[in-house]
């Protein structure tokens, strides 16, 4: 069964289980937070998000295409990078098109099944991206700290297994979070203090006093995120320790140029993610909350291709070869 079928099945299952308890909510859906400003300004903001979305799609699909067609990029590092770019495309596609349509229609409503699927996909792709970033840090650790054993350790079977595990854990956390969140009751306000459906904002408007399933899911996800963060930090501590011991400045420069783009991507993603999920949700969101939400769902997918193309000589060479042909 493909991932899309699994996602569809989970969405329908959650909706059916909640149908008897919250029939009014299922029929009415939720109201999302609107863009600040007049209607004309909202339309302008919507087209701005559309431009960001198209730029992100172009950049990430370009990386996917280059890694696929260029034989020089058929290495574990770029195999992980291709999956990361695909995850970026999926993540930004969950939120931005809905925001664009809402800004044009001036209607910030979302159906109950749509909200379920949005939570499912957002959590799935965030967890998948964290997992892939962890595998990239391990790949860079092996390449720099154990170069002679690199081909044996990072063989094709291992790389495929690591990517499959990343997508599996992402889908698992998406299913756990969405099931736990929508097993709650929403009998009061249906105004979600966010531009899209996510777990913290839905917990704020839920009238259920007990949400054990959500708490277990959040604790499990937080533990997994901390584990990935520790792995990433340890990998780069060892990397920089080995780089600083290199006798030749040329080797240091090459190692730093290889690791710098990934450090920028990891830092951007982790900072925006932790800020978005750890900050408290006010009853009346302010412009600061609007900017944080924009940074969370738009900044990492849009900046990642730019970061790789500007700092990576192999990507630039593949790009010149492609346009030359």
Given the structure tokens 């350790």, which residue do they identify? 153
Which tokens sit at 188?
């009061």
Rounded to 5 degrees, φ, ψ at 196 are: -150, 165
- pLDDT (tens digit per residue) in 268-321: 777 777 776 666 655 556 666 666 777 777 777 887 777 776 667 777 777 787
State residue 191's pLDDT score: 84
The alpha helices in the chain, defined as continuous H runs, are 3-18, 23-28, 39-69, 76-105, 112-145, 150-153, 156-181, 199-205, 212-244, 249-278, 287-311, 313-324
User: What are the structural domains of the chain?
Assistant: 3-324 (1.20.1070.10)
User: Could you give the percent of the chain with pLDDT greater than 70?
Assistant: 80
Distance CA 198, CA 96 (A): 14
Of 323, 318, 320, the residue nearest 67 (C-alpha): 318
**What is the reported pLDDT for 86?**
94
pLDDT digits (tens, 9 = 90+) for 49-104: 889 899 899 989 988 998 998 888 899 989 999 999 999 999 999 988 888 888 88
| Residue 220: closest CA among 199, 205, 202, 197 | 199
Q: Tell which wins on pLDDT, 83 or 37.
A: 83
Low-confidence winner among 9-23, 178-192, 285-299, 303-317 (lowest mean pLDDT):
9-23
Overall average pLDDT of the 11-25 stretch: 45
- CA 105 to chain CA mean position, Å: 27
pLDDT tens digits, 108-161: 888 888 898 999 999 999 899 999 999 999 998 998 889 899 999 999 999 999
Place of tokens 């996602």: 7
């Amino acid at each position: 069964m493909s991932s899309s079928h699994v996602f569809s099945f989970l969405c329908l299952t959650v909706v059916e289980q909640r149908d008897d308890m919250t029939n009014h909510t299922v029929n009415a859906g939720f109201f999302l937070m609107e863009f600040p400003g007049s209607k004309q300004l909202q339309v302008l903001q919507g087209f701005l998000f559309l431009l960001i979305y198209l730029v992100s799609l172009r950049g990430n699909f370009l990386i996917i295409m280059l890694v696929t067609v260029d034989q020089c990029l058929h290495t574990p590092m770029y195999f992980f990078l291709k999956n990361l770019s695909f995850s970026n495309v999926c993540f930004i596609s969950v939120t931005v098109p809905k925001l664009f349509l809402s800004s044009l229609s001036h209607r910030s409503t979302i159906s109950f099944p749509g909200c379920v699927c949005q939570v499912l996909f957002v959590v799935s792709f965030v967890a998948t991206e964290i997992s892939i970033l962890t595998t990239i840090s391990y790949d860079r650790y092996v390449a720099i700290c154990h170069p002679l054993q690199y081909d044996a350790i990072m063989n094709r079977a291992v790389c495929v297994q690591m990517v499959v595990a990343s997508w599996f854990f992402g889908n698992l956390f998406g299913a756990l979070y969405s099931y736990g969140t929508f097993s709650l009751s929403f009998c009061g306000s249906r105004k979600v203090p966010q531009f899209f459906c996510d777990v913290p904002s839905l917990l704020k408007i839920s009238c259920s006093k007990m949400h054990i399933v959500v708490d277990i899911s959040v604790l499990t996800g937080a533990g997994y995120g901390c584990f990935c963060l520790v792995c990433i930090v340890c990998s780069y501590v060892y990397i920089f320790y080995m780089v600083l011991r290199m006798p030749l400045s040329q080797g240091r420069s090459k190692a730093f140029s290889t690791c710098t783009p990934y450090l920028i991507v990891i830092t951007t993603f982790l900072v925006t993610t932790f800020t978005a999920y750890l900050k408290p949700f006010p009853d009346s969101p302010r412009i600061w909350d609007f900017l944080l939400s924009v940074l969370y769902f738009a900044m990492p997918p849009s900046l990642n291709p730019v970061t790789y193309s500007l700092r990576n000589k192999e990507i630039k060479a593949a790009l010149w070869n492609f346009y030359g042909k």
